[in-house]
């Protein structure tokens, strides 16, 4: 299996208003350094699994609606608790839609799996990965 992984980041505010979150129940925030990995079973005649430039562009487009936002106010997260896991799944779903829409170039159809990792600090991270 081949994979290409690119990195970007977002800076967001949110609250986690459930007792289990203790001190994180109130309004606070995070920088999420986001790694998006695109998997393929082979490479094309150009030696590409996925074009890194295209992957970088698509990741930036998917993250743009989240960057510098208060996630509590975004309709896409209404009724949800925006944990690291939930945001990772959201980014995964958006990337999967981009792949299905051919936005990763000619090789989009070869992409068979995605992994989205959110680093919330130097000491903690979460991810979601699944076959497409």
| By CB under 8 A, residue 109 contacts a copy of itself | no
Helix (H) or strand (E) holding 97: helix 84-100
Of the residues 65, 70, 76, 132, which one makes contact with a copy of itself according to CB under 8 A: 70
How many other C-beta atoms can be found within 10 angstroms of the C-beta atom of residue 77? 17
Backbone angles phi, psi at 104, to 5 degrees: -95, 20
Residue 94 token pair: 């958006």
111 burial level (CB within 10 Å; 0-12, 13-18, 19+) = buried
Nearer to a copy of itself, 20 or 78 (CB): 20
Of the residues 48, 74, 96, 112, which one makes contact with a copy of itself according to CB under 8 A: 48
Cβ atoms of residues 42 and 48 within 8 Å = no
8-47 binders of a copy of itself (CB under 8 A): 8-9, 11-14, 18, 20-24, 26-33, 43, 46-47
Of the residues 65, 76, 80, 109, which one makes contact with a copy of itself according to CB under 8 A: 80
Size of the site for a copy of itself (CB under 8 A): 62
Rg (CA), the chain: 16
| By CB under 8 A, residue 89 contacts a copy of itself | yes
- Residue ranges binding a copy of itself (CB under 8 A): 1-9, 11-14, 18, 20-24, 26-33, 43, 46-49, 51-53, 56, 67-70, 73, 80-86, 88-89, 105, 120-130
């Amino acid at each position: 299996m081949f994979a290409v992984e690119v990195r970007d980041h977002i800076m967001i505010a949110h609250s986690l208003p459930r007792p289990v979150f203790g001190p994180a129940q109130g309004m606070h925030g995070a920088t999420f350094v986001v790694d998006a990995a695109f998997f393929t079973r082979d490479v094309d005649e150009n030696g590409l699994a996925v074009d890194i430039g295209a992957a970088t562009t698509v990741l930036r487009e998917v993250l743009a609606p989240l960057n510098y936002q208060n996630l509590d106010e975004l309709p896409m997260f209404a009724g949800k608790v925006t944990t690291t896991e939930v945001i990772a799944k959201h980014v995964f779903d958006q990337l999967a839609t981009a792949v299905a829409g051919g936005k990763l170039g000619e090789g989009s159809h070869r992409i068979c799996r995605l992994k989205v990792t959110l680093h919330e600090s130097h000491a903690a991270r979460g991810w979601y990965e699944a076959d497409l």
